[in-house]
Amino acid sequence: MTLHGVLFAYCLMFAQALSPDYSHKRVTASKFVRPGHPPQNISQLISEAPNVARIARIFPSSQWDSIFPHANKDEGPASSPYNYSNFLGAAWKFPYFCGEPDQSDEECMHELVVMFSHIVQETGGKRDHPGPGGAELDGLYWYREIGCYDPGNPHHEICGKQYCSEAGIWGVFPCGNRAYYGRGAKQLSWNYNYAFFSKAMTGTAETYLTEPDRIITDGWPALASAIWFWMTPQLPKPSMHEVVTGLWTPNAADLAAGIVVGFGTTTNIINGAMECGQGTESSYSSYRMQYYRALCDTLKAQCFSEVAADGCGKMNSQFPEAGTAGNGPLIYLDKSWSGSQECAPVKYQMPFLVGQDETSCLCHFWPQNTVCSATVQVQTTSNAVSHSSKVNTGSEDSKITNTIKSTTTTPEKKNSILGDCVGAIVPEWGECTGSTCCAAGLKCYEYNQWWAACRSDCDPQSSWSCQVLSDISQESAVEETSVSSREFTHLRGNKEEGESTTVTSKQHDSGCDQVGAEWSGCTEHHCCGEGLQCYEQNQWWAQCLKSCDPQQKSKASGTPWTCKILTH
């Protein structure tokens, strides 16, 4: 059989899969995180987010109760933090979770089944009775890694497991005497994962680095941490979301490593080093397989048809760099070895993220750079919000009241000079339901009455209504923009509630909502400050620079600069 035939056969393992698409814009869109706190009212969650409306329709609270009867250490599925309201709140943060364009209800249910199967393995309490009506219904029992919780000092540990990596570059995520053992539905572990999750949820790494047990006591993050891991690729691994939806398909390098479309690949992503590549199935991989097939039956889901692909024992536990995901969009930054002061995308994991940490990366390696010493007028007001939730600590019941820094901003809304669009400029595939201003060349197309996104085009034969809510993108503006105090070059990052940072800057004639400082990334918005141009290095990366040498070659990424000017 030809390679094309093999790939086609593997695609048929799950007939309902989306069309394969591992393009830069699709992968980037799927990772989008909605800023702010989820609404506490279920009706509001449903009305604001079409993916939540779908989940609530096909997977109502009665089903949540039926498959998680022992949740919260037998307090039940209505207790905290593992309850239906917190689950919908967590889903609200990720619009593409059960919300990919053209994704069907059947595909969404399958996505839930696969994720729940892994959650049962990570948090199940009674594994001595597998089978229908048995251990697959015992998920979300544990809040934290067994034996590690210290009720007198919840951010520490009493199990001798700190899960801290501060060697070399990872010292940017200092642990102190805090512990980062498994917490939440995914049992999120290690300081760097807490930091990345914290950045995604709150806009800063410090939130959960400083107070790691808030992943449990804040409520919805206990479940959001699992969805974040589900949605986030880890180069050269794809995300589990991409595997299950069919957006990712294996190429020749993946197939040579035994990595195929199927449930086993999701196990390889979540814990391949411990459970996969052993020739035969490990006991833990076998448990996951049992839970998966049992939940497929319980929830009547259309699951992977090829049962032989449920395991990962014969897969290489290392995803190949030449695989589909290994050739996907670069998401980490490291210093460039070209001799110039710049950070560039790389294929290996680093603490700095593309599109978010350009300034942090630059100033870590070159703290004397003029960008790092620039003064920014910042006004910060921290409002404390008290949240009270009953949480079983594992040793005793306790009423926990948490004082939490809010994570939503109320920036001043600006109208474009065209007068027809309200709010910030939205990039491709970004939500424009409440802000109908799309980036240049895009229109705000309606998906349904609850949701719309900025797209270059829309097929009315798809599940989208394709009604154009606004076909106007901003052409020019000069405005005062509210930005995050953590990254003043990332002007559309998740902003903290009560945290208002003001930078006055002259915008380009394009009406740029984002203006990059020197050395900052401009891959998506192409907007740079005075005296700078957005120069392209390659199809994945561009930076704001004063000049560009086409003979320059970045040792970090191994590619030369095209020096194409992308500035509007």
Mean pLDDT score, 76-87: 96
Mean pLDDT score, 295-308: 93
For position 551, what pLDDT does the model report? 72
Mean pLDDT score, 490-513: 36
Average pLDDT, the chain: 78
3 state DSSP class of 223: helix
For position 323, what pLDDT does the model report? 95
Report the sign of the C-alpha dihedral through residues 182, 183, 187, 193, in that order.
negative
Please determine, for residue 400, whether its predicted confidence score (pLDDT) is greater than 60. no
469, exposed or middle or buried, with CB in 10 Å at 0-12, 13-18, 19+? middle
How far apart, in Å, are the Cα atoms of 133 and each of 24, 138, 290, 376? 42, 9, 12, 59
Look at 102-116, 383-397, 513-527 and tell me which has the smallest mean pLDDT.
Answer: 383-397
Residues with Cβ within 8 Å of 246's Cβ and at least 6 positions away in sequence, in order, are 11, 14, 17, 18, 19, 20, 261
Mean pLDDT score, 203-220: 95
What is the C-alpha separation between 250 and 260, in angstroms, rounded?
6
For position 516, what pLDDT does the model report? 67
Look at 16-20, 249-253, 344-348 and tell me which has the smallest mean pLDDT.
Answer: 16-20
Mean pLDDT score, 289-307: 93
Please determine, for residue 498, whether its predicted confidence score (pLDDT) is greater than 70. no
Phi first, then psi: what are they for 363, rounded to 5°?
Answer: -75, -20
* Position 212 confidence tier, pLDDT thresholds 50, 70, 90: very high
The residue with tokens 């005062």 is: 480
For position 139, what pLDDT does the model report? 94
For position 414, what pLDDT does the model report? 32
Portion of the chain with pLDDT greater than 90, in percent? 51
What is the C-alpha separation between 86 and 79, in angstroms, rounded?
10
Mean pLDDT score, 537-548: 74
In sequence order, the β-bridge partners of residue 183 are: 144, 188
pLDDT tens-digit readout, 123-140: 998 655 555 567 888 899
Please determine, for residue 192, whether its predicted confidence score (pLDDT) is greater than 80. yes
What is the C-alpha separation between 200 and 57, in angstroms, rounded?
27
Tell me if residue 530 is catalytic: no
What is the C-alpha separation between 336 and 484, in angstroms, rounded?
26
For position 463, what pLDDT does the model report? 57
For position 265, what pLDDT does the model report? 97
For position 539, what pLDDT does the model report? 63
What does the DSSP assignment read for 166-180?
A: -SGGGGGS--TT---
Please determine, for residue 95, whether its predicted confidence score (pLDDT) is greater than 60. yes
For position 205, what pLDDT does the model report? 94
Please determine, for residue 89, whether its predicted confidence score (pLDDT) is greater than 70. yes
Q: String of b and e for 282-291 (b: at least 16 CB within 10 Å)?
A: beebbbbbbb
Mean pLDDT score, 57-68: 96
pLDDT tens-digit readout, 349-399: 899 999 889 999 999 999 999 888 753 332 222 232 333 333 333 333 333
* Position 513 confidence tier, pLDDT thresholds 50, 70, 90: low
Portion of the chain with pLDDT greater than 70, in percent? 71
Q: What share of the chain is helix, strand, coil (3-state, %, to 5)?
A: 30, 15, 55
* Position 442 confidence tier, pLDDT thresholds 50, 70, 90: confident
Half-sphere exposure (CA, 13 Å, Cβ side) for 497? Answer: 13
Please determine, for residue 465, whether its predicted confidence score (pLDDT) is greater than 90. no
Cα(first)–Cα(last) distance of the chain, in Å?
Answer: 48
For position 131, what pLDDT does the model report? 53
For position 253, what pLDDT does the model report? 96
* Contact in structure between 185 and 140 (CB atoms under 8 Å): yes
The residue with tokens 């700078």 is: 532
Mean pLDDT score, 40-47: 94
Output the six-digit token pair for 328: 């996907």
| pTM flag (> 0.85) | no
Between 125 and 46, whose confidence is greater? 46
For position 187, what pLDDT does the model report? 97
For position 520, what pLDDT does the model report? 61
What is the C-alpha separation between 138 and 115, in angstroms, rounded?
14
* Position 3 confidence tier, pLDDT thresholds 50, 70, 90: very low
SS3 of 447-509: the string is EECCEEEEECCCCCCCCCCCCEEECCECCCCCCEEEECCCCCCCCCCCCCCCEEEEEECCCCC
276, exposed or middle or buried, with CB in 10 Å at 0-12, 13-18, 19+? buried
Mean pLDDT score, 15-27: 79
**Which one of the listed residues 107, 122, 496, 499 is annotated catalytic?**
122
What does the DSSP assignment read for 91-126?
A: HHT-TTTT--TT--HHHHHHHHHHHHHHHHHHH-S-
Please determine, for residue 147, whether its predicted confidence score (pLDDT) is greater than 50. yes
For position 544, what pLDDT does the model report? 76
Please determine, for residue 311, whether its predicted confidence score (pLDDT) is greater than 80. yes
For position 423, what pLDDT does the model report? 47
For position 258, what pLDDT does the model report? 96
* Position 494 confidence tier, pLDDT thresholds 50, 70, 90: very low
For position 455, what pLDDT does the model report? 78
